[in-house]
Amino acid sequence: MRTPFSLVARGRATVARLWARPPADRPTVHLSGHPWHRFDRLALVGRRPASAGPGGEHRSRLRTPAIDFCDHRAYQIGDDPRWIDWNVYGRLGTLQVKVTEAEERLHLFLVLDCSASMDWGEPSKLGRAVEVVAGLAYIGLRQAAVVRILRLGEQLHALGPVTGRTRFPEVLRFLASTAPGGCVALTEELARLPATLPRGAHPIQPLVILVSDLLVAEPSELGRAFDALLSGGADLAVIHLLSLQEEAPDPLGEVELVDAETGEILDIGLNLETVEAYRDRLSAWLGEIERLCAQRDLRYARVRTDRPLDSLLIEDLRHVQLVR
């Protein structure tokens, strides 16, 4: 019997990655029929100033020539004379330069975990993750952000940079081809990400959103990967997906658990005591993940896959101040 939930595997400190359905039952991602316009009023919230150049809708802390007046400061040698406020000079007799606040483009990196453990649960974690990434990309493109999508699987697939809402169909086509990618060294892949971050005349501090079930051998490894991203200048947020079956397993009796990524098989007899022990371990593991994120002041949202996409984006992500 194949069970529809994850269990703690022998010798591991966290939840095992377990396959629960034959390949023919893998869900198909449907994106084209969703009413994406429901997210038109949402905007991504970055914690750091954007610096990707004028033209976006992300408020920057950089003081540069733009149309939004912010303040005055004393004229300094080398300042552009066109920004002198002659009205102030006429009243006060001192040269003052207009300081404006630029609207700049936000760099958005959406990192999608496509490991085999994600293609599990009802509804599938991978299917819901793809929808979440599509929704965030839609919001970003409407916000004039520079959007990149990175799929972590057996092979690395990337889309972008793309800008402008007219590129959204291209995003949907890219995401619709998403498939589970076997075993993914999540922490190693995340640690490599800083090398892919764009470089420019000004330090670029992108908003990086990881969408994953975070199933790794040691949660502490995630902390080191997060630190590598943060030291690379990223504004990191984490969306942690969990299926209902992982939270509340109910089958009892003799079962065969098959690791989705390694193929390892574990025969076990499930009883009420075993399931209760699993729930305790799951609770401890989730607490450790939350602590890792809280220690680094990351925005962390744990969401269940049975939550409607609208509720997930509008309520759950607003709650952690990732969107407004």
How far is 201 from 204, CA to CA, in rounded Å? 9
Q: What is the pLDDT of residues 233-267, one digit of tens each?
A: 889 999 999 988 888 776 667 777 766 666 677 77
Phi, psi of 254 (to 5 degrees): -80, 125
| 63 token code pair | 């003081």
Q: Record the pTM.
A: 0.76
Q: Does domain 18-52+105-319 have CATH number 3.40.50.410?
A: yes
Question: What mean pLDDT comes out for the span 52-69?
Answer: 46
- Start-to-end CA distance of the chain, whole Å, equals 45
Q: Residue 75: CB partners within 8 Å, gap ≥ 6?
A: 84, 95, 96, 97
How far is 302 from 285, CA to CA, in rounded Å? 13
Q: What is the pLDDT of residues 109-149, one digit of tens each?
A: 999 998 888 888 888 899 999 999 999 999 999 988 999 99
Pairing state between β 207-212 and 265-270: unpaired
| Top-confidence residue, 19 or 228 | 228
Task: Give SS3 for 249.
Answer: coil
Edge-to-edge strand ranges of the sheet holding 18-19: 18-19, 253-259, 265-270
Domain range list for the chain: 18-52+105-319, 60-104
Q: What is the pLDDT of residues 282-293, one digit of tens each?
A: 899 999 999 999
Phi, psi of 156 (to 5 degrees): -85, 125
Using CA atoms, how far residue 199 sits from 52, 56, 107, 161, 196, in Å, is: 10, 18, 11, 13, 9
Q: Which of 1-5, 13-17, 281-285, 297-301 has the lowest mean pLDDT?
A: 1-5
How far is 194 from 241, CA to CA, in rounded Å? 23
Phi, psi of 170 (to 5 degrees): -65, -40
Q: What is the pLDDT of residue 298?
A: 95
CB 119 within 8 A of CB 126: yes
How far is 125 from 235, CA to CA, in rounded Å? 24
Phi, psi of 109 (to 5 degrees): -110, 120
Strand partners, 301: 239
